[in-house]
Amino acid sequence: MLKEMLASRNLPALKPRDEMLGILQREVYGFLPPKPDDISFTQEKDIIRRFCAGKANCDRITVNCRVDGREFSFPILATIPNDRTKGKYPLFIHINFRPDNPDRYMPTEEIIDNGFALISLCYEDVTSDDGDFTNGLAGILFPDGKRPADGAGKIAMWAWAAQRALDYAETLGDTIDLDRVCVCGHSRLGKTALFTAATDPRFAFAYSNGAGCSGAAIQRGKTGETVADIVDRFPFWFCENYYKYANNEDKMPFDQHYLIASIAPRRVFVGSAEEDAWADPLSEFLSSVAASPAFEKGIVCPDRVPETGDRFPEGDVGWQIRPGVHYFSRLDWQRLIEFIKLHS
Ligand code: GCU
């Protein structure tokens, strides 16, 4: 049944990872900004000691980068369990909407209690979520205000910043298990999390929650948001080359299963919510199925249309759908944690 459903979507065949990534960068997100020429980290004074009932410290770190000879910095929050007898901690890098910790999309204490460390960053500390390309990282990359047609959009810039958060984690020595780092985010930041992992093989896991259009969901045959909708309201998330696919999805030499497949052979978990029709859970699921051949162990699921409450964590690419609306909920985190523990 799934085979026929996929056939009706007419998806382009998977290609080698480098080719898929090249297409996605050139045609959708723009090329990832260059690695910094230089990077350093400043520990700020406003550390919260004995956070989470004393189980963790929360440090505010300033990430200082030199990019193309220009200085750029942004803050991250590192919440690291105190108990040094437990070995190395797997790590979440959460690209968040807000600088809060905890946050309504980030149940910090519960994450710590599950044996994880957590680094979070607020996306607008990197560059604003709008068409202004003069501030933050955007202003550093395009100082003359001219962005080429394949120049980084805002998603690529937020992804680049999440990669710098991993650079910081690499300085933490034996505290962090660098073989178990997961980048995650919700909605526009779920799109960003997938692109972050696709372009940086240091991430062992990626999780996108409600990422939908131009994220986890295949566009061909998608319901809810279309390419035309998204480039009309949020053109700045993408490179200009993407705009020509508005109402023209059949001409795309790719579909979003390329994004998931570009993370192989590492692991990806995709989260959907029953009432998130704008993201289109079925197209997120079919995307995970279509990307599966790129992985050693593709999605493990029955050959039927999924039902609310289904979760398929066993393959290297997994998918789940919970009841409720577009939101990064505690249940999503619990299922993500379960996915990582299962594959550890
Ligand atoms: C809008 C947009 C979506 C996006 C969402 C979000 O709804 O159309 O593509 O995922 O915002 O980021 O919250």
Q: What is the CATH number of the domain that holds 174?
A: 3.40.50.1820
Which of 29, 129, 187 is the best mutation target for the ligand 1 pocket, counting ligand atoms within 8 Å of the beta carbon and taking the most?
187
Report the C-alpha gap between 267 and 269 in whole angstroms. 7
Nearest residue to 79 (alpha-carbon basis) of 110, 46, 101: 101
| Paired sense of beta strands 317-322 and 117-122, if any | unpaired
The alpha carbon of 234 and the centre of ligand 1 are apart by a number of angstroms equal to: 9
Using the predicted structure, report yes or no on whether residue 127 has a pLDDT greater than 90: yes
CA angle 341, 159, 155 (to 5 degrees): 125
Based on the structure, what is the number of domains in the chain?
A: 1
Ligand 1 atom with the shortest distance to the CA of 186? 12
Q: Global pTM?
A: 0.98
Nearest residue to 8 (alpha-carbon basis) of 318, 286, 305: 286
| Residue 241: φ, ψ to 5° | -60, -25
* Each residue's pLDDT tens digit, 144-191: 989 999 999 999 999 999 999 999 999 999 999 999 999 999 999 999
Whether cis (ω within 30° of 0) applies to the bond prior to 36 is no
Report the C-alpha gap between 229 and 218 in whole angstroms. 15
Residue 19 token pair: 């080719």
pLDDT of residue 45: 83
Give me the mean pLDDT over the 230-246 stretch.
Answer: 98
82, 56 contact by CB (below 8 A): yes
Side chain identity at residue 160, one-letter code: W
- Those residues with Cβ within 8 angstroms of residue 312's Cβ, 6 or more apart along the chain or in another chain: 299, 300, 301, 318, 319, 320
Ligand 1 atom with the shortest distance to the CA of 213? 9
The alpha carbon of 41 and the centre of ligand 1 are apart by a number of angstroms equal to: 32
pLDDT of residue 113: 98
* Each residue's pLDDT tens digit, 48-60: 889 999 999 999 9
pLDDT of residue 272: 98
Using the predicted structure, report yes or no on whether residue 46 has a pLDDT greater than 90: no
Q: Please give the residue range of the domain that contains residue 76.
A: 2-342
Pocket of ligand 1 (CB under 6 A): 187-188, 212-213, 225, 230, 278
The alpha carbon of 185 and the centre of ligand 1 are apart by a number of angstroms equal to: 12
Ligand 1 atom with the shortest distance to the CA of 233? 8
The alpha carbon of 211 and the centre of ligand 1 are apart by a number of angstroms equal to: 8
* Each residue's pLDDT tens digit, 58-103: 999 999 999 999 999 999 999 999 999 999 999 999 999 999 999 9
How far, CA to CA in Å, does 29 sit from each of 65, 94, 250, 253, 292? Answer: 22, 20, 18, 14, 22
